[in-house]
Amino acid sequence: MKKLYHIMRPPAGAGRRLRTAHGVWMALALTGLGCWVGRLALLFSAEVCGRLDRLELLQAYDTNPLTTALNLLAPVLLIWLFYFLTRRAWAGYLGSFLPTIGVAVVNYYKIGLRGDPFLASDLRLAAEAGGIVGRYDLEVTNLVLLALASLAGGLLFAAFLMPGGVRGWRERGFGAVSCLALLAVAIAGPYSSQSVYNGTDTSVFYVHPWSAEETFVARGSTYSFLHSIQDMFPALPPGYQRERAAEELGRYPDSDIPEGQKVSVMGIMLEAFCDLTDFAPLAAQPGVAELYAPWHALEARSVSGDLLTNIFAAGTVNTEWDFLTGYSTHGDFRGPVDSYVWYLRDQGYQTFGSHPYYGWFYNRERINQYLGFQDYWFRENHYGALVDEWTAAEDSDRLVAGELLDQLKERVQDGPCFSFSVTYQNHGPYDLEASKGNVYLTPEGSGLTEESCNVLNNYLSGLSTTIEAMTGLAQELEAMDEPVVLVLFGDHKPWLGHWESVYRELDIPFYDDSPQGFTNYYATPYLIWANSAAKEALGRDFTGVGGDLSPCFLMQEVFDQCGWEGPGFMKLAREMRDITPMLHIRDLFWVDGAPAGTLEGEALDFYHLFLRAQYYRENEVRK
C-alpha cells in the first residue's frame, strides 16, 4: 500500500524507477478521468429522450466502438491540454469536465424542456437563452447530482493523488500544442465527416430519422455537438459559382404588382399556435371543439392548409424568416439581405410590424432592418408602456391586434402596407400545478393525469383569447373600405410538458414512419383571408384549400391567391414547389404524399439550381 502511495505521490529524491512508475500512473489516471467525463456525458444523452430506453441506448453506445471513441476523445484531449497548460491534474480535470458536461447538461434540459438538441450554433443565442430559461422549472435530477458529485470527487482525487506534473516548459508547450493540433484535426476530420456520422448510427433499436433529438442523442451529446460545428459555416451549394447563379436566377425576371391590385397585406405569426382538434383524443372533448369553432369558421372563409415547419416547440425565427425571405435554409443575417419584404418595399409598400417582446431577442431589431422593414415596434419602443413582460406571455394578443388595426388604419392612408407581426402570448412553458383559466379538460372526463390537464388547460386558455383576438381582427378589417389580405399561421407546435409528456400520454404518434406522424410533429395551421374590398380589387374569393407546404413557400401562396407573379425568385420557387411542397431543414422532401430523404434525376438537379439561386440572392443581391 505504501509503495502504491509513493507511486501516486513520489517522495523527494525518488529514484528513476519510481518516477517512471509515477509518470505511467499520471498518464493512466489523466486518461481515465477524461474517459469518465466522456462516459458521464453519455449517461446524460441516454437519459434525455423519453421514447428511447436508457439501457438500450447505453448498449448501443457500447456496441459501436466508433461512437464511444468519438465521445471520449474530446474530453481526454481536453484534460491533457489543460494539464500541460497548468501543470495541475485538477485543473486538467476541470478544463475537461466543465465544457463536456456543460454541453451534456444544457442538451439534457434543452431537449427535455423545448424538444430540440443543443447545437454549436446555439452559442450565438446565449442572451436569448438567458431570457428564456427563467420561465422553466429546472428540476435537479439524480443524474445532475451525480455530475456534481463527480466534479467534486474528481477534483479531490486529482488534487491529492495526482500532484505536480511535467515541469519543463518545452515539454509542456509541446504537449499543449500537440493536444490542440489533435483537437483541430479531429474536428476537421472525423467529427465533421458525414460518412463517419452515418457510420455511428445505432442498429440496436430504431432511431427515427425525422427526430432531431433522437438522431442527436443516439450518437452522444459530445460527438453530436462537435459534429454540428460545421453547420456554423455553411458550405456552398453544389456547383455554385457566382456568375452561374446570377445567370440562373436571371432567367426569372421580376414582375411588378399592377397598380390597381396593390392591396395591403397583414401577416401575423402566432406563437405556439396549433389545432389540437387534429388529435382525435382532444377533438372528442366538447370544450376543446367549442374553443376552436370560431377558428374553423374563419378557415372556412379563407384559403387554408398546414405549414410543414422545420421545428418543434422552439426556434420561432426559423418559420418567421422562411416566410419573409422564401429561403429554405440560410446563414446568419449580418447585413441587408434580399427578401420579399424588400420586393414589396420596392413596389411602393410601407413595411412595418411589431412584436411585444424585446428587440434584442434573436437580434430582431437589426435583422428586421436587414430584411427591409422600415419601422418595427418592440417592447423597448412601444409595448413596454402598454403591458408588462409576464402579462405579454399570457394575455397580450387582444392588445396587439388592436394596436395593429389602429396602425394599419392610420398608415394605409399613405398607400399600401405590408404589416408583419409576431405574437408572444402562449409562449411556453405552461403551469403544471394548477389550471389558471378556463377548464376544458379534467382527469375524470379525459383520462389524463391532473398535471397533463393543467398544461392543456393553461395552453388552451391562452389560445381562446388568441382566437378571439384574430377573429375579431378579421371582423374589423372586413369593415374597412381599404382592401386588406390577412395571413395567420403558427410558428411551431406548443411545449406540452417536460419530455413531450402530454403528447406521449395522449398516445399521439410522432415517429411511426407515416406522413401523419410527420405532420403530428411539425405541422401548424395557416390561413389566408381577405376582406370584401380586397376580393373586389383582386377579383378572387379567397376560399379553398391552399395545400400543405413549407414556410418558405407560404408567401408564394399568398401572392398566388392575390394573382401576383412576384419577384423572379418567387417564380423559381413555384417550380420548386411543383416538384416538392416541402424543403425541410433536415434534408427531407415531400414526394408522392410522404416524406422522402432524396430527390432523383431532374428533380435533384433543379433543387441544386434552386439552392444556388437562393444562396446568390441571400449573399449578393442587396450587398
Residue 293 and residue 210 in one domain: no
Is residue 52 included in any domain, yes or no? yes
Residue 215 and residue 281 in one domain: no
Is residue 443 included in any domain, yes or no? no
Residue 218 and residue 282 in one domain: no
Can you tell me the distance from the alpha carbon of 305 to that of 299, in angstroms, rounded to the nearest whole number? 9
Can you tell me the distance from the alpha carbon of 108 to that of 458, in angstroms, rounded to the nearest whole number? 25
Long-range CB pairs of 364-368, under 8 A, 24+ apart, other chains included: 364/317, 367/321, 367/333
Residue 83 and residue 136 in one domain: yes
pLDDT at 440: 96
pLDDT at 315: 87
- In 533-587, DSSP assigns E strands to 544-545, 583-584
Residue 212 and residue 318 in one domain: no
User: The dihedral of CA 537, 539, 542, 545: what is its sign?
Assistant: negative
Residue 200 and residue 276 in one domain: no
Q: Quickly list H helices, 267-335.
A: 280-283, 286-300, 316-325
Mean pLDDT, the chain cut into blocks of 10 residues (623 residues total): 64 68 84 96 85 78 90 97 93 97 92 79 68 65 94 93 77 92 95 86 60 80 92 88 97 97 99 97 96 98 98 91 97 91 99 96 94 97 94 95 98 98 94 89 95 96 98 99 99 90 90 84 97 98 98 99 98 98 94 94 98 96 86
Among candidate residues 198, 232, 266, the one where a domain is terminated: 232
pLDDT at 13: 62
Q: Look-up: residue for cell 382566437?
A: 467
Instruction: Provide the 10 A C-beta neighbour count for residue 381.
Output: 13
pLDDT at 492: 96
Residue 205 and residue 297 in one domain: no
Q: Give how many domains the chain has, as a whole number.
A: 2
Among candidate residues 163, 197, 232, the one where a domain is terminated: 232
Is residue 309 included in any domain, yes or no? yes
Among candidate residues 201, 232, 263, the one where a domain is terminated: 232
Is residue 83 included in any domain, yes or no? yes
Strand partners, 490: 270
Is residue 455 included in any domain, yes or no? no
Is residue 243 included in any domain, yes or no? no
Residue 495 and residue 586 in one domain: yes
Give the up-direction half-sphere exposure of residue 180: CA atoms within 13 A in the CB hemisphere: 9
pTM summary value: 0.83
Q: For the residues of 176-230, what is the DSSP string, one character each?
A: HHHHHHHHHHHHHTTTT-HHHHHHT---SS---TT-HHHHHHTT-HHHHHHHGGG
Residue 398 and residue 244 in contact, taking contact as beta carbons nearer than 8 Å = no
Q: Quickly list H helices, 326-422.
A: 340-346, 364-371, 389-394, 397-411
Can you tell me the distance from the alpha carbon of 78 to that of 82, in angstroms, rounded to the nearest whole number? 6
Residue 34 and residue 126 in one domain: yes
Can you tell me the distance from the alpha carbon of 385 to that of 377, in angstroms, rounded to the nearest whole number? 12
Residue 223 and residue 265 in one domain: no
Is residue 149 included in any domain, yes or no? yes
User: The dihedral of CA 572, 574, 576, 582: what is its sign?
Assistant: positive
- All three cell numbers of 256: 411588378
pLDDT at 234: 76
Can you tell me the distance from the alpha carbon of 610 to that of 441, in angstroms, rounded to the nearest whole number? 47
Is residue 457 included in any domain, yes or no? no
User: Is 96 strand, coil or helix?
Assistant: helix
Residue 319 and residue 405 in one domain: yes
Residue 563 and residue 312 in contact, taking contact as beta carbons nearer than 8 Å = no
Instruction: Provide the 10 A C-beta neighbour count for residue 365.
Output: 16
* Domain of 104, in residue numbers: 2-232
Q: Kindly report the CATH number assigned to the domain that includes residue 297.
A: 3.40.720.10
Residue 201: closest CA among 218, 187, 226: 218
Residue 472 and residue 590 in one domain: yes
